[in-house]
Amino acid sequence: MRGTDESTVAYSQFINQIEAGNVASAKIGSDRIVYILKSEETQEQSKQPKEYTTIPVPGDSDLSGLLREHKVEFSALPPSNSGWIGTLLSWIVPPLIFVGLWGWLMARSQGGAAALTVGKSRARIYAEGNTGATFDDVAGVDEAKAELQEIVDFLQHAAKYTRLGAKIPKGVLLVGPPGTGKTLLAKAIATEAGVPFFSISGSEFIELFVGIGASRVRDLFEQAKRQAPCIVFIDELDALGKSRANAGGIIGGNDEREQTLNQLLAEMDGFDTNAGVILIAATNRPEVLDPALLRPGRFDRQIVVDRPDKIGREAILRVHAKNVKLSEDVALEKLAARTPGFAGADLANLVNEAALMAARKNRNSVTVEDFNEAIERILTGLEKKSRVLNEIEKKTVAYHEVGHAIVGALMPGAGVVEKISIVPRGVAALGYTLQLPEEDRFLTIEDEVRGRIVTLLGGRSAEELIFGKVSTGASDDIQKATDLAERSVTLYGMSHKLGPIAFEKIQQQFLEGLTNPRRAVSPKISEEIDLEVKEIIEGAHHIALNILQKNRDLLEETAKILLEKEILEGEELKEYLKRVQKTPEMESWLLKGQLNSNLLEPTSYNGKEKS
């Protein structure tokens, strides 16, 4: 009863009170027993009797009999009024906890945004002419700029095209190696056209939960239609548009990437050609894109943004050097000639590195010396004078690098040997031989491929010739030589035995450093490929040994000078390399790739006749 004084006692004490005949009445519940003693019941009527509470022992079936025996009035406790509330909360609270946890996770994944915005587009919107880039900032890709100028003209003068019935491409795909300026081109288009620019990465569409990416695609195109004419730019399209043919998993299952791609395809078909929404995308992996994405009516036009040629590199250097104070001895056209294969990002990094070095040396302007050091740092890594070599290591590295230089001076297509150094650089390079091409090359001839293999083996051959044993320093050279020899047989079809058959699949068009898988071939063909590769390597090894044997005096003289100075370059190095002599069988092997059986062994090894 409410308002009564209540005290909790032990169950055993309650039993003792019953047996002593002191209990007047009891109310029994499932989880407690409330009772009143006779002494409390006989008190004054104005005072409420004191109630005692005890917790029953489960399974005690003798209690009711004991109460009857001692003539105790007993009844059941009424059910608690809060019971239905507990039942209701047990059904409601767990789902609320789950919803709250899901909302918290979504808010974190959105960088603090509300969970309700999870399906909204994350595209960054630039106002008219506010992307910070123009066509003047883009150099070295004149063909791509000319193609994209038409997009700009359409956005500015749409009536000029529509009155003739012309349709502007719905989608433009920029493809090319990393760092060639694809994103910069897209921003320049928006600035030149003076229209809104939506920028987003392909990976920003994909989330853990299926359907979110598709929702973001829908929201992106809805925003674009409201602000037409405009440009929608999707960077790294391969993260979103990979081919569905090799997706794996359950066919027809719910896959977030596939649903997002399907929604993108539907949106590109859903808006009118001349609605003023132009989709521009960039990728360096066009070979992995879904064919449905590349068909006419979606990405109608593909523009290759490749590495620049010499003229393009000079134009890029001028763009990045316009705010840099250059010394009078700096000739950008010469720098462009020394940097074949550099992309726009590489050249921007080159100018910045040279400026940093000049500032570090407290110069008033950036000199040629700073640019030369910057080129070496980019190609070979940071100089590490703290890595001290012992005498044996230093001597081995010196002969190794001079061997590369002497052999490289004779090989076709290898470039000019600019510098030899035994100062450690980068992660593992204990020395290096710097060779720079004299001109841009887009094809490599058969004898040039073999010449590169011979040059790679020149360092190891010098160690064999001088010390009679080899070191671990040639491991990278051997790896590159083997890879090149294998590609010449399996990919370039340069084997006279196997013929013009491709045994490898080209998978990466613009990304370097990834191996191509060999096609499924018979064990016999595989053995012939291995034998052919071995024969090329052995022939190159023989040629390198014989060149160095013929020029042994020059090898030892140059190595001693290098050990004293640590670096050889410029006219001094050229004077040594002018004295390099050819061997009779060298040119024959470079052209045919075959040696006479009696020429397979060098005549001398470590200064002694070979047994």
Instruction: Break the chain into its structural domains and give their ranges.
Output: 6-76, 83-117, 124-304, 310-380, 391-599
CA pair distance 141, 51, nearest whole angstrom: 96
| pLDDT at site 202 | 78
| pLDDT at site 428 | 65
CA pair distance 348, 327, nearest whole angstrom: 18
Contact 363, 370 (CB under 8 A): yes
Strands (E), 111-220: 124-126, 171-175, 197-201
| pLDDT at site 275 | 67
CATH domain 6-76 topology: 3.30.720
The answer for residues whose C-beta is within 8 angstroms of residue 167's C-beta and 6 or more apart is: 161, 273, 274
- Residue among 40, 314, 401, 463 flagged as catalytic: 401
Nearest to 311 by CA among 336, 330, 335: 336
* Both tokens assigned to 62: 């003798």
| pLDDT at site 552 | 93
CA pair distance 137, 181, nearest whole angstrom: 10
Q: What is the largest CA-CA distance in the chain?
A: 135
* 401 is annotated as an active-site residue: yes
| pLDDT at site 541 | 94
| Per-position DSSP letters for 297-327, written without gaps between them | TTEEEEEE-----HHHHHHHHHHHTTTS-B-
| pLDDT at site 457 | 94
Q: What is the pTM of this model?
A: 0.70
| pLDDT at site 56 | 83
What amino acid is encoded at 561 in this protein?
A: I
The conformation of residue 232, written as its DSSP 8-state character, comes to: E
Domain 124-304 in CATH 3.40.50.300: yes
Strands (E), 374-493: 416-421, 432-436
CATH domain 391-599 topology: Methane Monooxygenase Hydroxylase; Chain G, domain 1 (1.20.58)
Contact 378, 348 (CB under 8 A): no
Domain 310-380 in CATH 1.10.8.60: yes
Mean pLDDT by 10 residues, the chain (611 residues): 61 83 82 80 65 80 80 76 63 79 66 47 60 80 84 80 80 88 84 82 70 78 82 86 66 65 81 72 86 84 87 90 90 88 90 92 91 86 74 91 92 84 77 79 85 93 92 90 91 87 73 64 88 92 94 93 89 89 85 61 44 29
The answer for residues whose C-beta is within 8 angstroms of residue 443's C-beta and 6 or more apart is: none
